[in-house]
Amino acid sequence: MSSLPSAPGFDQRVYAAVAQIPCGQLATYGQIADRIGAFGCARQVGWALRRLALPSEIPWHRVVNARGQICMSLSREGSDWIQRELLLAEGIPVDAEGRLPLRRYLWRPPPPAG
């Protein structure tokens, strides 16, 4: 039995980073991957967020793809429309195809400590 604390898993690191995104701002999947030191793992960030049970305290809806779009898909079982409504409620305009002004609302946090 080891007395060393275990490092948080990938999903927990994703959730901790996403929890820092302020209301009314957006991040990309790649930005979150880079922030947790998982360069090139944007898709895995998306899967981690998809594993969240909804509703969630984690602001998963503030994470979008690098093109500034919500991934609108039947496979999302309605969470794409939930994401759109949550973003609209925060004052971020989103059109019917899920496009939004990413540059204007992009989160620019200080570099992570460490």
| Position 96 confidence tier, pLDDT thresholds 50, 70, 90 | confident
Q: Which pLDDT score, from 0 to 100, does residue 114 have? A: 62
Q: How many CA atoms lie within 13 A of 30 on its CB side?
A: 6
Per-residue pLDDT reduced to its tens digit, 27-52:
999 999 999 999 999 999 999 999 99
Q: Is position 28 within any domain?
A: yes
Q: Which pLDDT score, from 0 to 100, does residue 1 have? A: 47
CATH no. for residue 17? 1.10.10.10
Q: Is position 83 within any domain?
A: yes
Per-residue pLDDT reduced to its tens digit, 7-24:
689 999 999 999 999 999
- The model's pTM is 0.88
The pLDDT mean for the chain works out to 89
Better pLDDT: 102 or 7: 102
Tell me the residue range of the domain where 91 lies: 10-105
Going along the chain, which residue ranges are E strands?
Answer: 27-28, 63-64
